[in-house]
Structure 1
C-alpha cells in the first residue's frame, strides 16, 4: 500500500504515521526571557524588539540558513517566560551544544535557551501542548520595590488570600470565559478548561498559579485583576462567579499589568521525552504547593 502523500509545510503539523522530508530535522528548545524591554513574543513588521525576532536571528546564524519558529504561546509586551517551548525545522546538523550555547552567544542578556532536543515529526510546540501554566506575581507592600519594579505587580493594599481563594473556586473547570478575554482576542471559542488556580505567599510576594489546556488573550491578567479586587475587599468572593456568568468583558474591571505575568510551564505527552522544568521565576524558589 502506498503511503499517504501530504504537502509539507515547515513547522506545520505532520499527520500521524508520516515523517518529515528526508534530511529535515525538528528541534525543540526550552526558552526563558525577561519581557521588560521586549515588545512581546510575536515578530512585528516595524519592531525588531520581539522574542521571536531575537531567537530567529540567533538560530539562523547557527544554522547558516533562515529559521522560522513556532512557540507554545504568544506573550504580550512586558510579559516574561521561564518555561516557553519552541520548535523549528532545519536541514542542518548541529550538536545540541550549538543550539544552546551557540544561540545564547548571539542573543542579548534577557533571552536564553536552556535546553534543546531533536523531536519526532509529530511534535508541535503549539498543538501538541496539553497544559500551560502561568504565574502572576504581586508585591503587596507599603512602597514599591526598586529592584523588582518591572518583574512584579505592586499594590500598597493588603490582600486577603482566603477571600481570593474563595473567589477563585468559581473559575475552576470548563466555562465560557468571555468576561476574561480581551476585546481583540482572536480565539474562535471563549470556552476554556481551567484545571488549577492556586494562590500562595512568599513574604510580601503573592503568587497566583493558573493552569489550563489553553488561554484566551489577557485571560490570566484579567483573572488577576478580578481576584486582586476581591483580596482588597472591594468586592465579595461571589462577585467572581457573577463576572463569569455575565459573559461580558465590561463586567470584569481592570486588566492587571503585564510585568507580573510569567509563562512558567508547558506540558506535553511523555512520548516526546522533553525535560521536566521547575516553574520559575527565581523570585519564587519553591513549588507553589509548599507556599502558604
Structure 2
C-alpha cells in the first residue's frame, strides 16, 4: 500500500462543511466519491488536517489516503480533478512515508480572514469576504491582538458546545494587512479550537469599533468564559491557508 498526501483548495459556499454528513454535500464526501470511482468501487477514507465549517474556504487544506493503485504520483491531481466538482481543486499530490498523518504530523496551521471595507460591498465577493461597514481603529486592534499572542487557555475563544477538554493553544502570529479595499487577518498557531479564529476576529472587530478596550483582551483570556468574548465572525470570510509539517512535503 502507498500513502498519498494532497493539498486541496475549495470554495466552501455550497457545502455543509468539510466532514461527511449523511444526505449533505461535503468536501470529504466529494473527494471520497471521486476516489471510489478511481478505485473501481472500493471505499476509501481520507484523513485531513482538520475540519472546516459550512461556508469556510481553504487554499491549503491537506488530506492523506492509502491506495494499492500504481498510478504515477504526477497523475493523481489530474485524475482527481477530472472527477471533482469545480469548487474543489487538488493543487498537488505527493507520496509520503507510512508514518505521515495529515493531522497528527502537522506542527502549525495558518488561517486568514478577509474583511471587505467598502461602503457598498461587492457582489462578486459577497461569499468570500465579510462585508464590514463600520469604521475601524486599526491601531486599537493591533494593540488588543498582542494579548492573544503566546500560549494560553483559549476557552473564551472556543464554541461552548465543543467536547475538547484541553483548550491550551499557542498563537505565534496575529497580523493585520491592508490588501486593496480589504483588511486581512493572518493567524498562525500550533492548533485551533472550534470557531477560535472567528471568535478572535469578532472580538477584535468590537475593539476596532470602540465597543471594547484593547486591554480587555487579557481579562477575557484569563477568564476562560466564552460569554465574555465577542461575536463569532461569519464563516464565509475564513480560509484555511496553510498546514505546516516538520519537513515541507509540497513544492
Do Structure 1 and Structure 2 share a fold, with TM-score over 0.5? Answer: yes
Superposition TM-score, scaled by structure 2 size: 0.97
Distance 1:27 1:184 in 2: 34
SS at match of 1:170: coil
Which whole-Å deviations, capped at 9, do the CAs of 1:196-240 have from their partners, x for residues lacking one? Answer: 111111122000000111100000000000011111122111122
Distance 2:110 2:39 in 1: 31
Q: Which residue of 2 aligns with 1:281?
A: none
Matches within 5 A, 1:249-288: 249-270=226-247, 273-276=248-251
Please report the RMSD computed on the Cα atoms of aligned residues, expressed in angstroms: 1.1
Deviation at 1:155, TM superposition (A): 0.8
1:196 is aligned, of 159, 169, 173, to 173
Deviation at 1:61, TM superposition (A): 1.3
Q: Which residue of 1 aligns with 2:215?
A: 238
Give yes or no for the alignment of 1:103 onto 2:80: yes
Q: Which residue of 2 aligns with 1:285?
A: none
Deviation at 1:184, TM superposition (A): 1.9
Distance 2:84 2:173 in 1: 34
Q: How many residues align?
A: 250
Deviation at 1:96, TM superposition (A): 2.4
- Runs (5+) with no aligned partner, structure 2: none
Q: Which residue of 2 aligns with 1:21?
A: none
Matches within 5 A, 1:1-292: 24-47=1-24, 49-64=25-40, 65-270=42-247, 273-276=248-251
Distance 1:37 1:240 in 2: 34
Which whole-Å deviations, capped at 9, do the CAs of 1:237-286 have from their partners, x for residues lacking one? Answer: 1122121121100001210000000000000011xx4114xxxxxxxxxx
- Conserved? CA contact 1:140–1:159, under 8 Å: no
Deviation at 1:134, TM superposition (A): 0.1
Distance 1:171 1:177 in 2: 9
Distance 2:81 2:138 in 1: 39
Distance 1:177 1:89 in 2: 35
Q: Which has the larger displacement, 215-224 or 142-151?
A: 142-151
SS at match of 1:81: strand
Following TM superposition, the consecutive aligned residue runs of length 4 or more in structure 1 with deviations greater than 6 angstroms are none
Between the two structures, name the one with larger relative contact order (CA 8 Å, sep ≥ 6). 2
Distance 2:86 2:136 in 1: 34
- Conserved? CA contact 1:70–1:126, under 8 Å: yes
Distance 1:30 1:89 in 2: 15
Distance 1:57 1:195 in 2: 37
- Runs (5+) with no aligned partner, structure 1: 1-23, 277-292
Distance 2:224 2:2 in 1: 44
